[in-house]
Amino acid sequence: EAFGTSYHHTSLHHTAEMFSCVFLSIVQMEDVIARMQDEKNGIPIRTVKSFLSKIPSVFSGNSPTSVLYTLRFQAVEALHLGTLMAAHGYFFPISDHVLTLKDDGTFYRFQTPYFWPSNCWEPENTDYAVYLCKRTMQNKARLELADYEAESLARLQRAFARKWEFIFMQAEAQAKVDKKRDKIERKILDSQERAFWDVHRPVPGCVNTTEVDIKKSSRMKNPHKTRKSVYGLQNDIRSHSPTHTPAPEAKQPTEEELREQIKFGQAQLDRHRLKMSKVAESLLSYTEQYSDYDPFLCTPDPSNPWISDDTTFWEMEASKEPGQTRVRRWGFGINEVLKDPIGREQFLKFLESEFSSENLRFWLAVQELKKRPIREVPTRVQEIWEEFLAPGAPSAINVDSKSYGKTTQNVKDPGRYAFEDAQEHIYKLMKSDSYSRFIRSSAYQELLQAKKKGKSLISKRLPAVVLSC
Amino acid sequence: MGEMEQLRKEAESLKDEITAARKAVQDLTLQDHVAGTAVVGRVQLKTRKTLRGHLSKIYAVHWGDSKLCVSASQDGKLIVWDSYTTNKVHAIPLKSSWVMTCSYAPSGNMVACGGLDNMCSIYNLKGKDGNVKVMRELAAHTGYLSCCRFLNDNEIITSSGDCTCVLWDIETGSQKTVFAGHLGDCMSLGVAPDFNTFISGACDFTAKLWDIRDGQCRQTFGGHESDINAIGFFPNGNAVITGSDDASCKLYDLRSDQELITYQDSGIMCGVTSLAPSLSGRLILAGYDDFNCNIWDSLKAERVGVLSGHDNRVSCIGVTPDGMACCTGSWDSFLKIWN
């Protein structure tokens, strides 16, 4: 029975584990295909009368989408999924090499499970040569080679010149067997075989769905398995079933690895975990706070340069005078001030006016140090130490004794992260002290109130966005 | 009881205790908390530009600033684009055409790439004579280079098919830190907004958070049922988004040390190849094997938009630092700019 009503309904993971080259997507698709082939609720298959002959075992193009719809897929998804399944060769148009699904009355046929992608076929050119050669022997109008197939055959004849006799013999043997088959059965099997090759040797210009990302293909396990021939040696095409090798077992960890795992596990267990409710609240408030600044949710002010062809937005960002929206963002947190060059400038200016800029200057110096080439690091570390931390330093900063002790040690063997502990302490100080003073300062408030020349001060919400009240 | 047996039992019981500790802070799920929040309305982005010039599959794209980006293709070229004008600023021929990743330095002075040659090649864009030349070839990985990201002009982090990530000093070409621990090929990495940590996604189905300064793995997140192909930080730096061959994306929170939500749909059966959050993090744009890119409401876990326009797999995606535009790269050899 060509495409069988029985199929193995294994679980997703079991199958994927067994057939290591099979992606979960293939397994999921075949699960849906199986349901589409269900006798009771699946696609109705019938034989259609046409002129003097019958077209066996077909369904019309609008059937897949309607069945997918009853399987609870949304309408748009159904067509997309149907097209994807056609591209992978699970069903095919009977009169076209191009594997696509049209939601109309054209006829399609299911592919036999033998040729399904889950069997991990990577057919060799010798198989393709046997197939094309066989087609030329069968002398039927419907089996005539398309131009690109004729070109492929010519190329293969040159490439396999020395073993052409063998290929010819295989083709002849298959053609002989085919002749003995029932006419209707032949029609079905020929079309399925052709559809298989349409997947693995697609029409030029069509997407080859068997192409694998090179990152994955270099990882494919069991390479020997994928070299099997579609036709086998001397075996009948329909009776030969492919074998599968299970994926290799995971290695048992060594004693050292176990000790590492335990050490890591202990550290994990000891870590403080924040309650989910707090985390959820923080995510929600972050996204709400930044929604005004997200061009995919709110129209930027004055406009999105990509849409309006007006680059004013970028010019304003680059100018020395910060706009009100930009200044408002500095109020979200110290990180916003520190990552905006104009913000840093204004923050520094404010602190200098209060004669308390040493913390920020230290923080900026350490950030800059971390980007320096390694050969400049020792000198720079010394300079920073002298300026901010050494006894009698001109811009002395106040660091806790623990960090001070560690830093003193680090400076003796200076690396990029010599001041990490001190910098973290200073950051916390700035966050709680200098930053809050800056945001409350008249200097900042003035920038915030400054009216932009004739532009709206309120960013426009796109009508589609609905956030919580 | 043998010592190995004892160790194994200890490791297992620790795993159970950690699972319990994670469960203990689940006073509310993200879904519960945002139940009162409405879904973001339908997001319809249009293609504003199509960047044509590559002759083969595009494997990677990375934004340098709001207009410049670099792309890598199997045609053996790295192209730096002014996406706004669609002009090619540089077209850099590569020694190896099997390139898998590219990166733009934050300074705009350099780009990097790598692939099956197991190396990360650094190119200086601001050379004296105007020509773009190889500045350094970072070689030490024993597997393909899947991803690379600059920290600054002197440091770059790479992830590899040899299951490790490495922090390099570009000037000396030496490995400063090796981050080992993954049990499968590392496929992707993302640097935290504060540049102190980075995350990696691998074929062992886990994501790991690493401390750049001391080389330690701080946290490991599981739950995916297949390779993690894409990874990125949520803009607040406190959460991580992953995309996998299991057709789902997940959001993990660093502070509660666990998965918050999964983005999946019965109609999506293809693997996720790439992802990028919008500026606020409310939207997550993810590229899939089925030629589409889906837009998710990150809090409600519902699909709110689709970018369809590519004729083959979407292999890479990126959002500009100012959030104004998103770029998709595809096996159909085109890059598209959307907003």
* Strand blocks (E) in B106-184: 110-115, 119-124, 133-139, 145-152, 155-160, 164-169, 174-180
Q: Which residue has the higher pLDDT, A212 or B188?
A: B188
Q: Which residue of A has its CA nearest to B239?
A: A283
Which of A74, A294, A313 has the CB atom closest to B278's CB atom?
A294
H or E element: which one contains B21?
helix B3-24
Mean pLDDT of chain B: 96
Q: What is the biggest distance separating any 2 CA atoms in chain A, rounded to whole angstroms?
A: 106
Mean pLDDT of chain A: 83
Q: Which residue of B has its CA nearest to A417?
A: B213
Tell me the one-letter amino acid at A9.
H
Task: Tally Cβ neighbours within 10 Å of residue A394.
Answer: 9
Report residue A252's pLDDT band, with 50, 70 and 90 as the boundaries. confident
**Among candidate residues B336, B327, B273, B316, the one with its CA nearest the CA of residue B58:** B316
Query: What global pTM score does this model have?
Result: 0.89
β-strand pairing of B326-330 with B47-51: unpaired
| Residue A294 distance to chain B (closest CA, Å) | 5
CB contact under 8 A, A214 and B38: no
CB contact under 8 A, A280 and B260: yes
pLDDT of residue B306: 95
Residue A465 touches partner B, C-beta closer than 8 Å = yes
pLDDT tens figures, B35-55: 999 999 999 999 999 999 999
Q: CATH number of the domain at B3-338, please?
A: 2.130.10.10
| Residue A169 distance to chain B (closest CA, Å) | 38
**Among candidate residues B234, B229, B221, the one with its CA nearest the CA of residue B247:** B229
Report residue A22's pLDDT band, with 50, 70 and 90 as the boundaries. low
Q: Which residue of B has its CA nearest to A255?
A: B4
Q: Is the pLDDT of residue A242 over 70?
A: no
pLDDT of residue A303: 93
| Residue B337 distance to chain A (closest CA, Å) | 9
pLDDT tens figures, B135-174: 999 999 999 999 999 999 999 999 999 999 999 999 999 9
Phi and psi torsions of B260, nearest 5°: -100, -40
Q: How far is the C-alpha of B328 from the C-alpha of B338, rounded, in Å?
A: 8
Report residue A97's pLDDT band, with 50, 70 and 90 as the boundaries. confident
Counting DSSP H helices and E strands in chain B, the numbers are: 2, 28
For range B212-230, the mean pLDDT: 95
Q: Which of A57-66, A136-145, A241-250, B245-254 is the most confident on average? A: B245-254
Which class in CATH covers the domain with range A125-218? mainly alpha
Q: Which residue of B has its CA nearest to A304?
A: B324
CB contact under 8 A, A286 and B203: no
CB contact under 8 A, B292 and A286: no
Report residue A183's pLDDT band, with 50, 70 and 90 as the boundaries. confident
CB contact under 8 A, B37 and A261: no
Q: What does R_g of chain A's alpha carbons equal in angstroms?
A: 35
For range A10-26, the mean pLDDT: 54
Task: Tally Cβ neighbours within 10 Å of residue A147.
Answer: 9
For range B120-126, the mean pLDDT: 97
Report residue A433's pLDDT band, with 50, 70 and 90 as the boundaries. very high
Q: Is A209 exposed, middle or buried (0-12, 13-18, 19+ CB in 10 A)?
A: buried
Tell me the one-letter amino acid at B28.
L
For range A168-193, the mean pLDDT: 91
Percent of chain B with pLDDT over 90: 96
**Among candidate residues B296, B286, B278, the one with its CA nearest the CA of residue B328:** B286
Contacts of B173 (CB under 8 A, 6+ apart): B136, B137, B138, B139
- In chain A, residues with a C-beta closer than 8 Å to the C-beta of B238 are 279, 282
Q: Which residue has the higher pLDDT, A23 or A298?
A: A298
Which of B48, B74, B270 has the CB atom closest to A306's CB atom?
B48
Contacts of A89 (CB under 8 A, 6+ apart): A99, A111, A115, A116, A117, A195, A196, A198, A199, A209
Report residue A221's pLDDT band, with 50, 70 and 90 as the boundaries. low
β-strand pairing of B110-115 with B207-211: unpaired
Strand partners, B22: none
CB contact under 8 A, B269 and A464: no
**Domain spans in chain A, listed from the N-terminal domain onward:** 21-118, 125-218, 319-449
Q: Which overall architecture, per CATH, does domain A21-118 show?
A: Orthogonal Bundle (1.10)
CB contact under 8 A, A218 and B144: yes
Residue B100 near residue B144, CB atoms below 8 Å: yes
Under 8 Å CB pairs connecting chains A and B tally to: 257
Q: ipTM of this model?
A: 0.95
β-strand pairing of A460-461 with A107-110: unpaired
Residue A183 near residue A191, CB atoms below 8 Å: no
**Domain spans in chain B, listed from the N-terminal domain onward:** 3-338
In angstroms, what CA-CA distances link B147 with A422, B72, B126, B302, B327?
Answer: 32, 12, 23, 29, 18
pLDDT of residue B130: 84
Which residue in A275, A291, A296, A338 has the most chain B C-beta atoms within 10 A of its own C-beta, making it the best mutation to test that interface? A296
pLDDT of residue A23: 72
Q: Is the pLDDT of residue B220 over 80?
A: yes
CB contact under 8 A, A24 and B235: no
Which of A280, A464, A466 has the CB atom closest to B28's CB atom?
A280
| Residue A222 distance to chain B (closest CA, Å) | 16
> How would you classify residue A27: left for phi > 0, otherwise alpha for psi between -120 and 50, otherwise beta?
alpha
Q: Is the pLDDT of residue A197 over 60?
A: yes
A319-449 topology per CATH: Regulator of G-protein Signalling 4; domain 2 (1.10.167)
Which of B18, B39, B155 has the CB atom closest to A265's CB atom?
B18
CB contact under 8 A, A16 and B115: no
Secondary structure string (H, E, C) spanning chain A: CCCCCCCCCCCHHHHHHHCCCCCHHHHHHHHHHHHHCCCCCCCCCEEEEECCEEEEEEEECHHHHHHHHHCCCCHHHHHHHHHHHHHCCCEEECCCCCCCCCCCCCEEEECCHHHCHHHCCCCCHHHHHHHHHHHHHCCCHHHCCCHHHHHHHHHHHHHCHHHHHHHHHHHHHHHHHHHHCCHHHHHHHHHHHHHHHHHHCCCCCCCCCCCCCHHHHCCCCCCCHHHCCCCCCCCCCCCCCCCCCCCCCCCCCCHHHHHHHHHHHHHHHHCCCCCHHHHHHHHHHHHHHHHCCCCCCEECCCCCHHHHCCCHHHHHHHCCCCCHHHHHHHCCCHHHHHHCHHHHHHHHHHHHHCCCCHHHHHHHHHHHHCCCCHHHHHHHHHHHHHHHHCCCCCCCCCCCHHHHHHHHHHHHCCCCCCCHHHHHHHHHHHHHCHHHHHHHCHHHHHHHHCCCCCCCCCCEECCCCCCCC
Residue B28 near residue A277, CB atoms below 8 Å: yes
Q: Which residue has the higher pLDDT, A61 or B44?
A: B44
Q: How far is the C-alpha of B208 from the C-alpha of B190, rounded, in Å?
A: 11
In angstroms, what CA-CA distances link B2 with A255, A263, B12, B38?
Answer: 12, 19, 15, 57
Q: How far is the C-alpha of A151 from the C-alpha of A442, rounded, in Å?
A: 79
Contacts of A61 (CB under 8 A, 6+ apart): A93, A101, A102, A103, A104, A105, A106, A107, A108
Which residue in B256, B265, B303, B330 has the most chain A C-beta atoms within 10 A of its own C-beta, making it the best mutation to test that interface? B256
Contacts of A244 (CB under 8 A, 6+ apart): A18, A19, A120, A225
**Among candidate residues B236, B99, B121, the one with its CA nearest the CA of residue B168:** B121
